[in-house]
Structure 1
Amino acid sequence: MKLILRNYIKTFEGLSKEVWWLSLITFVNRFGAMVIPFLSIYLNESIGITLGDVGWIMSAYGLGSVVGSYIGGKLTDLIGYYKVILLSLFFTGINFLWVMHVADFWGLCFSFFILITLADMGRPAFFVALSAYSKPENKTRSLTLLRLAINLGMGAGPMIGGLLIGTVGYHALFYADGFTCLLAGLLMMYVLNPKTVKEVDKEVIVENPVAPEKDITYVYFLIGLMLFAMAFLPLFTVVPVYYRSVYEISEPNIGLLMGINPIMIVLLEMPLVAWLLKKKYDNIQLTIIGIAFTGLSYIVLVWEAWIGVLFISIVLMTFGEMIGFPFSNKFALDRSKIGKQGAFMGLYSMAFAIANIFSHNAGMQITAKYGFKVVWLFIFGLTVIACFFMYLSRRKVMEETTTKQLSLKSNLDK
């Protein structure tokens, strides 16, 4: 047991203290995001918004995520990641304290659009900051630590949120979210002030930087990533409904089953990533492996004769997440070196935001019309197409590598 624990701790060695601080800030911020899991219930039961109108408010929420990711990427290149993160945290905190007083439909659409725009404005900046605070050989593990902080925060936040609702009321969630955002901003000012903190890997300023939307290799990658995210996200909407409808599992047991995902991530993701880094696979190959695991996690659900497939499915899904997302993130960070990092990472965040807009609604609509087996096959089809676009991206990378080698050889011969 001591050896296992020692090896687990060893996987975190070598990461800069700035990465640890950034992960702590992320944890505080995500821990405070306790409104999100209860938002639909709050809008419907507490304010009296119809379920149909709740759907439109959530669409405005998703659209804000797309706009925020785009603006955040552009701002990061203009004023730097530190200022963008601070602006995002402080203005998000203030908006959480304000939005709880809005009760009409159009006001809520506008308020949540602004709120998530400000919140997701910081996403590309966080990625660029992480890159700046990490040595090149540690970037994937640094990303994994950040994901660990996100999962711990998102796991603990709803539990505290449920207690606050039961004891104080829904308004307590908005106060908690608002003040934790402000606390995260103050913590960042104290521990990561650029006047006292040195960057480990400064952004490379390139002549004639490539715009991410004109980089066909990156465009293929982003399409594959968006499809991957669309396949993964139904885990939080369609899958719980499936557990309840088909297997009649109670809500507490659904929670326990879903809890396998964050527990596995906390215990296994860092050692798994450290092990995979020693293998001769590139980032896109590993992303494709992660997508394949995700596709298999839905295919096994087609077989409804044994409840054990639910456990197999959630394990496969989690392996897909643990492998696919860290290495896709690493590819995006590496690719961003040919242009402006903020713009590249802004589009990376946008791929997830766009997936959020369409994935949940499409999954529920297909389920309502054709049943669960059809939606599982549909999602599996998304993963197949995602793998195809990742293959196209990797092929372009190999072509670029070959061209560079031939050019270098030609220059040496001269």
Structure 2
Amino acid sequence: MKTLFNNYLNTFRGLSREVWWLALITLINRAGTMVVPFLSLYLNKDLGFSLVNIGWILSIYGLGATVGSLIGGKLADKIGFYRVMVFSLFGTGIMFILLQYLTTLLTFSLGIFVVMVVADSFRPAMFVAMSAYSKPENKTRSVTLIRLAINLGFSAGPAVGGIIITTIGYSGLFWIDGITCILATLLLINVLHPKKAKQLDNVTNENPKSILKDKPFWLFFIAMTLFGIIFLQYFSTMPLYYKDIHFLSELEIGLLLGMNGLIIFILEMPLIKWLENATYSKVALMVFGSLLVGGSFIVLIITNWVGVLILGMLLMTIGEMIVFPFSNAFVMERGKRGKLGEYMALYTVSFSISHVFGHNAGMRMVDKLGYDFTWIIISILSIICVITLVFLKKSLISEKLKK
């Protein structure tokens, strides 16, 4: 047991001090975003908005995230990732506190749009920072550590948020969210100031190539947008499927979704360390991960046995653990040929687009077609995603042969 534990700890060794600080800042920031999981409830119960209006607000939320990612990437290239992260974290903190005072449909919609523009400008800048603070051979594991921090933050946030709502009310969420963002800013300034942090890799290119002409990247972008739409069903339509078809209680649904976070926490870093030492390319691993996530929907079509829900969750979780770190590492590697901030921005935009369309499309398909036909369509999308990644692999091979 001791040897197993030591081997687990060894998978974290070799990462720079700055990456660990970045992970802690991300953990504080993500644990603080407690408003987000309860946003629909707040808008419905406290502000009395209709479900239709809430749907529009959530779309505006996704649109703000898309714009924020694009702006964050551009600014990271122009003024540097450090300044963008400081502005984003501090600005988000102040805006979250002020958001509670916007109570009409128009003002809240405008408010959440501006908040998400500022908040999501952090993501591409953070990924550029992580690339700068990581040795080339450690980038995939650095991504995995950041994902671990994000997952821990999202796991702790809703639990603490529920306690805050029952004791203080929804206004407490806005104050705690704002304060944690400001605290994360102070930590960032103290430990990752350019005079204190050491960059281990160059993230600027004096002669950048245009991303618009990067055909392999756009194939990748399409594949990741499709993957995002498929993946997000587990957090919108799938819980409804658990309740409506398999009659699971909220507790059972929570345990099933919690299994995802627990598996990621325990296994993702060792899995990525093992796969890094294998001979497979990043794109080949993304193909395999996408197949697993697609397979998690196919098994639901095959049988109605309740145990298949656990199998589906396992397939999705393993696929997610493979696709996200290696897709992120692929972009960081690809981004060196152009402007890294721009590449990271479009990578995050692919998932923002998935948020804008994925939840809404999934809900409409379930309403009109039922769950089985929805899973068939999602499975077809996963096949298209895999085919796109295969084309990406061939495009990269062709690109190498031309050099």
TM-score range relative to shorter protein: over 0.9
Q: Which amino acid aligns with 2:272?
A: V
Unaligned runs of 5+ in 1: 405-414
What is the 5 A alignment of 1:212-291? 212-291=211-290
Q: Is the 8 A contact 1:206 1:338 kept in 2?
A: no
Q: Which residue of 2 aligns with 1:394?
A: 393
Unaligned runs of 5+ in 2: none
In 2, Cα distance between the equivalents of 1:396 and 1:255? Answer: 42
- Name the SS for the 1:249 alignment partner: coil
Q: Which residue of 2 aligns with 1:12?
A: 12
- Name the SS for the 1:49 alignment partner: coil
Q: Which residue of 2 aligns with 1:156?
A: 156
In 2, Cα distance between the equivalents of 1:63 and 1:403? Answer: 39
Q: Which amino acid aligns with 2:332?
A: L
Q: Is the 8 A contact 1:333 1:345 kept in 2?
A: yes
In 1, Cα distance between the equivalents of 2:361 and 2:22? Answer: 35
Q: Which residue of 1 aligns with 2:195?
A: 195
In 1, Cα distance between the equivalents of 2:367 and 2:203? Answer: 48
- Name the SS for the 2:366 alignment partner: helix
In 2, Cα distance between the equivalents of 1:287 and 1:8? Answer: 24
Q: Which residue of 2 aligns with 1:132?
A: 132
What is the 5 A alignment of 1:288-307? 288-307=287-306
In 2, Cα distance between the equivalents of 1:85 and 1:196? Answer: 16
In 2, Cα distance between the equivalents of 1:285 and 1:243? Answer: 32
In 1, Cα distance between the equivalents of 2:138 and 2:281? Answer: 15
Q: Is the 8 A contact 2:204 2:340 kept in 1?
A: no
In 1, Cα distance between the equivalents of 2:282 and 2:211? Answer: 18
Q: Which residue of 1 aligns with 2:3?
A: 3
Q: Which amino acid aligns with 1:394?
A: K
% identity of equivalent residues: 48
**Does 2:144 correspond to 1:144?**
yes
In 2, Cα distance between the equivalents of 1:42 and 1:306? Answer: 36
> How far off is 1:303 after superposition?
3.3
**Does 2:131 correspond to 1:102?**
no
> How far off is 1:204 after superposition?
4.1
- Per-residue CA deviations over 1:23-47 (Å, capped at 9, x if unaligned) read 0000000000111111001000111
TM-score by length of 1: 0.96
- Name the SS for the 1:195 alignment partner: coil
Q: Which moved more, 1:185-194 or 1:211-220?
A: 211-220
What is the 5 A alignment of 1:11-410? 11-207=11-207, 209-404=208-403
- Per-residue CA deviations over 1:197-238 (Å, capped at 9, x if unaligned) read 11011224242x122232111001100011011100010010
Q: Which moved more, 1:155-164 or 1:377-386?
A: 377-386
- Name the SS for the 2:245 alignment partner: helix
Q: Is the 8 A contact 1:289 1:320 kept in 2?
A: yes
In 2, Cα distance between the equivalents of 1:258 and 1:196? Answer: 40
In 2, Cα distance between the equivalents of 1:309 and 1:212? Answer: 42
TM-score by length of 2: 0.99
In 2, Cα distance between the equivalents of 1:197 and 1:70? Answer: 26
Q: CA RMSD in A?
A: 0.8
Runs of 4 or more consecutive aligned structure 1 residues displaced over 2 Å after TM superposition: none
> How far off is 1:304 after superposition?
4.1
In 1, Cα distance between the equivalents of 2:340 and 2:238? Answer: 35
